[in-house]
Amino acid sequence: MHKENPLPHHWMAPENFDEKKFTEKSEIWSYAVCLWELFTLGDIPYQEVEDMLKYLSVGRRLPQPNYCSKEIYDFMKGCWDLDPSKRPTFSECVKFFEKQLELFTKEQPLNKPTSNNA
């Protein structure tokens, strides 16, 4: 955050700056930045970027984290579409991650607690 601008600009959607418009779709943008932080194990987003709006307006986005699948990163990029109407809703986010969890547990079965009753 900038000292003169105490807003969390690294997590804000472009329309937050331009139009001072805050909607579910702008929250989706922020949500994807938080996902990015999780999958990078806590890296700071846009750390080396000086002009965020210029960086974003030319189509650049945060890079794919090392611990993130292509499917999840593609979903995150959809959350960062410059056109808010093309971003998913939170309901769609829930459905996407339910499916990802289902796929993951088929590939990597979760350890189920065992009974110590002998």
The answer to whether residue 118 is domain-embedded is no
Q: How many domains does the chain have?
A: 1
Supply angle C-alpha 15, 83, 3, rounded to 5: 25
Q: Has residue 1 been placed in a domain?
A: no
The confidence score (pLDDT) of residue 118 equals: 47
pLDDT tens digits, residue range 57-106?
899 999 999 999 999 999 999 999 999 999 999 999 999 999 999 988 88
* CATH number of the domain bearing residue 44: 1.10.510.10
Q: Which tens digits make up the pLDDT trace of 2-23?
A: 456 566 778 888 888 777 778 9
- Whether 113 is covered by a domain: the verdict is no
End-to-end CA distance of the chain, in Å? Answer: 57
* Residue 96 domain-assigned (yes or no): yes
Residue ranges making up the domain that contains 20: 9-107
Tell whether 56 is covered by a domain.
Answer: yes
Among 60, 66, 29, smallest CA distance to 46 is for 60
Q: Where are the beta strands (DSSP E) in the chain?
A: none
User: Domain for residue 19, yes or no?
Assistant: yes
Predicted TM-score (pTM) above 0.75: yes
Question: Is position 63 within any domain?
Answer: yes
Alpha carbons 88 and 9: distance in angstroms, whole number: 21
Measured distance CA(118)–CA(8) in Å, rounded:
55
